[in-house]
Amino acid sequence: MTNAALPPTLANPLDAWRRFRNRLVSSPKFQSFAQKTPGARTLARKDGEKLFDLIAGFTYTQTLYALTETGLIGAMKDGAQPLDALAFAADLPTDRAEVLLKGGEALGLVERWRGGYGLTRLGAAFAGAPGLTDLVLHHRELYLDLADPKDVLAGEGETRLAAYWPYVFGADAAQDNATAQTYSELMTRSQAMVAEDTLAALSLFDVRHLMDVGGGVGTFLIAAGQRWPDLRLTLFDLPAVAEAAQGRFAAAGLAGRAAVRLGSFREALPDTGADAISLIRVLYDHEDDTVRALLTRAYEALPPGGRLIVSEPMGGGDAPHRYGDVYFALYCLAMRTGRVRSVDQISAMMEDAGFTRIRAPRTRRAFVTSVVTGLKV
């Protein structure tokens, strides 16, 4: 691939304008001129601030990580604390703790209260959101993998995330119970918001029996069962992951209407009589061939009129957005499998599997999850 310009016959007026604009704006002389000219100076300053945020963004996330890892976020959760007390809690010299707290203040997470430092509204929201603290601490693995992003993009070398999520490579890769417990705990804590937003976006009033495929330790099914008291529940996942689900169902008061089936969806889905199947944060972990085979198995397992529910982070398609096309896209690359797909891409794959009446109900927080549903007719 080269950077050669398109032949004039392939250019259009808009492309010509863009080339002219980019040559002009990238000129050092124009940059100097813009800083001295009132109208252009405003645009140049805004562009400069955006560029600096991109350049310095990794330090912002590391500041959040440090506030979390040192326990300072938790220490300020119930109110302001003196600087000396916070430094002692974080096991940092007072002057270094102050640097970190001022960084949090600059990011809008921390504010000075009379007598010390406390959380802002944004900081309190972070401290209270289910799973966010665990997710930020988990980012240590991602930071290490992205030390050389070109390797991740090229698919070269081993990554820590590929070892952290072995289940995506099949049943044999997920037999280590200690590893399975580690990622199951993270999934459990981070799945609560996904379950909440998914169930807010759709109704299960006409569903008798829901089977959650790849459902881990049952977080989504517990939320669904508590919202719909007559709903029968079946969880299907690998033994190393799903065996802990039965105890959680019992603790939630759902043992009488919840069952666990063990196996790999790469081979077959069990015949449970379910009239709805959910795939919650499953497809983006896997390559297209695996996803297409799974969607076909889901279609075959459902009765006429059965419903498929897909919920996971999705890309923006022709309108890329940061959470899907930057964060989750790079995360999938670091896992060495799967990819973020847009609503249209998932809808097309569902249609290829036989599903009709495909819908994408709006979710409360697209950065948490998006939903696509389809029917077997």
**What's the pLDDT tens digit per position in 36-66?**
888 888 888 888 899 999 999 999 999 999 9
Dihedral angle over CA of 308, 311, 313, 319, nearest 10: 50
Average confidence (pLDDT) over 213-228? 94
CB pairs under 8 A, 24+ apart, for 144-151?
Answer: 145/334, 146/330, 146/334, 149/330
CA dihedral (20, 318, 369, 329) positive or negative: negative
CA-CA distance, 209 to 234, in Å (whole number)?
A: 8
Q: Determine the Cα–Cα distance for residues 329 and 201; give it in Å rounded to an integer.
A: 24
Could you give the residue range(s) of every CATH 3.40.50.150 domain in the chain?
A: 133-375
Average of per-residue pLDDT across 196-218: 95
Specify the DSSP element, H or E, that contains 58: helix 38-69
Rounded mean pLDDT, 148-177: 75
- Fold exhibited by the domain 39-128: Arc Repressor Mutant, subunit A (1.10.10)
Q: How many CA atoms within 13 Å lie on the side-chain side of 47?
A: 11
Q: Is the pLDDT of residue 2 over 60?
A: no
pLDDT at 168: 63
Beta strands in the chain (DSSP E): 110-113, 116-119, 209-213, 232-237, 258-262, 276-280, 307-312, 356-359, 370-375
Among 3.30.70.270, 3.40.605.10, 3.40.50.10330, 3.40.50.150, name the CATH number for the domain at 133-375: 3.40.50.150
Residues 287/339, Cβ–Cβ less than 8 Å: yes
Q: Give the confidence band of 1 by pLDDT, cuts at 50, 70, 90.
A: very low
Q: Which of 102, 98, 73, 105 is nearest to 83 (CA)?
A: 98
Whether the predicted pLDDT of 74 surpasses 70: yes
Range of lowest pLDDT (178-187, 267-276, 281-290): 178-187
Helix (H, G, I), strand (E, B), or coil: what is residue 4? coil
**Smallest Cα–Cα separation from 22: which of 2, 38, 3?**
3
Q: pLDDT class for 186, splitting at 50, 70, 90?
A: low
Tokens representing 288? Answer: 């297209």
* Average confidence (pLDDT) over 122-129: 94
Structure tokens at 242: 């799903």
> Assign residue 115 a region: left if phi > 0, alpha if psi is -120 to 50, beta otherwise?
left
Domain with CATH 1.10.10.10 in the chain: 39-128
Higher-confidence residue of 18 and 98: namely 98
pLDDT at 163 (0 to 100): 82
What's the rounded Cα separation, in Å, for the pair 377 and 375? 6
pLDDT mean over 9-19: 78
CA distance 133 to 118: 17
What integer pLDDT is reported at residue 183 of this predicted model?
53
CA torsion through residues 246, 249, 253, 256, sign: negative
Residue 14 confidence (pLDDT) above 60: yes
What is the arithmetic mean of pLDDT over 99-126?
Answer: 96
Are 281 and 314 within 8 A, CB to CB? Answer: no
Q: Is 155 helix (H, G, I), strand (E, B) or coil?
A: coil
Output the CA angle 126-127-128, nearest 5 degrees: 90
AA letter at 335: M
Task: Give the pairing type, strands 232-237 and 209-213.
Answer: parallel
Q: What is the mean pLDDT of the chain?
A: 90
Answer for the pair 225, 165: CB distance below 8 angstroms, yes or no.
Answer: no
